[in-house]
Amino acid sequence: MSQKQLAEELHVTHSQISHSESGETKNPNISIVIDAARFFHVSTDYLLGITQITTPKSYDISELGLSEEPVKRLITGRIDINILNCLLEHEHFPRLCIMIRNFFDGTIIEGVMARNQVVDFAVDQLTDLMNAEPAKRKEIIKDKQFLNWQKLGLNEADIEKIKNQFVSILRDIKSSMQNKELTSTVATAESIKTIRNALPDKPASDITSDDVANAVAFYMGQTTDLNDTGLTMVQELAKYIFDNSVPEKRSDDHW
């Protein structure tokens, strides 16, 4: 997409997009950032370079279009979320969904019926030939049987294509699972990296519980809508966990 096309989609001038993209605009208009995030279905933090995670931190569950039962299964852990992520992330999964939709809608049935009609026509021609040349009856019967075997059930072709596509996706996932980090792992690693970057630049042995609490609160402030009271509670909780999870306290009250 060109800058001009994006400007038209966001209802701003070409120069505004150009200056923002080139870095000439140090503080881009917040409304442009929000509109761009909505247009590209990414988070504003991703556009601003704060995180490498593209998705917004939260969605209204109704935006996903899921019915109540799948949501319950996801929340209660009855569905293996890692397997679900692998399926949804596979490049051919959207194609599989289209094939299943076509199967449900019966959009390919007409093509199958046309194919079967061609086979029936060929069989009729062989029948006429057999009546005209009885000496070839045995050979023609075999040919008719072979042709009839080529006919497809109305749903047989769809099911076979769906099965082959699904098996192909499963094989790809199995072969790559050993090397591919799952979505939840990536998100966790990104969170830890952000918290570590917020810690003061000093030796690990000199990091205090206050330092850790402040870093955690900074991360939460970047990724959630917590108010000052909520952030203070997060700081206190992080400090408590840090103070009570180390085996030994140094005399200078550093950990």
Q: Locate 174 and state its tokens.
A: 């199995």
Q: What is the pLDDT of residues 216-249, one digit of tens each?
A: 877 777 766 667 777 777 778 777 777 776 444 4
For residue 218, the model assigns a pLDDT of 79
Q: Could you tell me the CA-to-CA distances from 216 to 31, 144, 213 in Å, in that order?
A: 28, 76, 5
| Domain range annotation of the chain | 3-56, 98-176, 193-243
Q: Could you tell me the CA-to-CA distances from 142 to 115, 121, 122, 148 in Å, in that order?
A: 20, 16, 13, 10
What CATH number is given for 3-56 in this structure?
1.10.260
What are the residue ranges in the chain where pLDDT is below 70? Answer: 55-63, 106-113, 151-157, 178-191, 223-226, 245-255
0.85 cut: is pTM over it? no
Q: In angstroms, rounded to a whole number, what is the distance separating the alpha carbons of residues 176 and 181?
A: 9
